[in-house]
A and B are shown apart, each in its own frame.
Chain A
Amino acid sequence: MLRQASRLLTRSIAATQQPIKVVGARPMSTDLPATPVEDSAFVESWNKVAPNIDPPRTPSAFMKPRPPTPSTIPSKITVNFVLPYASELSNMEVDMVIIPATSGQMGVMPGHVPSIAELKPGVLSVHEGNDVKKYFLSGGFAFVHANSVADIVAVDAVPIDHIDENLVQKGLADFNLKLSSATTELEKAEAQIGVYVHSALNSALAG
């Protein structure tokens, strides 16, 4: 019986020691587990088929995940402004952007509600301290994310000072004439767009 007791005693010590060791090895709650860069299921099945070849790098390994939504509102908003042929602003931290949405001018500051907006021809202004950069956008879309990141995608955008005022006045007059002489609905819509874009350009130069 005594022999049994010693065995039980060592077992109980071992049993109590085990959880203590686990607790010691456990990471702190503030230590975030490393996010897997690659799909583990894919790597596993790759190794089954081709154990001698390294698995290829997949888009999930290339692309950086979006930063998480912070619990407090950051002081700056991160703006990505992209054109088909250029990246005008990339990961730029600014105070505010004013976006020409079809529903009206939209001021976006840090902590803005996530939203998607269609853009009309108009002025995009980027406010950074006392500096205000102004672009004229022809149209596109803007995506505002919950983590104070705004993506602006436009078909074409030009700095305001690249616009020729005389050409704008001439175009406005031309399209007003076209609008009055348009016969089909398509022609009328084209002329209407012309008047719309030129008056937007005009007010951008004036304002």
Chain B
Amino acid sequence: MASNAAVPFWRSAGMTYITYSNLCANLVRQCLKEPYKTEALSREKVHFSLSKFVDGNPQKPVIRSDSPTE
């Protein structure tokens, strides 16, 4: 798969290197044995606190947890 073309296949499909490398890393994490798998996946979790502003006042914040897996 390591082609000698000027552009790798994922680049010509519109992916950036960051997208590609994160996708690869995520696939590797998915294939781990159990104690390590949950540890690796929880390390990549991101938490957001979102609150919309209406008329200059913040509304009730919503906690959103994103993990790289969909």
Binding site for B on A (CB under 8 A): 85, 102-104, 120-121, 136, 138-140, 155-156, 158, 162-164, 167-168, 171, 185-186, 188-190, 192-194, 196-198, 201
Contacts and interface: CB of A to CB of B under 8 A. Distances in A.
A140 B21 contact: yes
15 contacts: A120-B2, A136-B28, A138-B28, A155-B21, A155-B22, A156-B25, A156-B29, A162-B36, A164-B31, A171-B27, A186-B14, A186-B15, A193-B10, A193-B20, A197-B27
Contact of A138 (B2, B10, B21, B43): B21
Given A121-B24, A164-B33, 17 more contacts: A102-B2, A121-B28, A139-B24, A139-B25, A140-B21, A155-B21, A156-B28, A163-B32, A167-B30, A167-B32, A168-B31, A186-B14, A189-B10, A189-B13, A192-B1, A192-B10, A197-B28
Contacts of A197: 24, 27-28
Interface string B1-25: 1100000011011110000111111
Contacts of A167: 30-32
B43 to A, nearest CB: 6
B13 A186 contact: yes
A155 B25 contact: yes
Nearest to B29: A156
Contact of A194 (B14, B15, B27, B40): B27
A93 to B, nearest CB: 28
Main secondary structure of the interface of B (DSSP, over half): helix
Contacts of A201: 28, 31
B13 A139 contact: no
B44 to A, nearest CB: 9
Contacts of B43: 85
Most-contacted residue by chain A among B9, B21, B36 (CB, 10 A): B21
Given A120-B2, A162-B36, A167-B30, A185 B25 contact: no
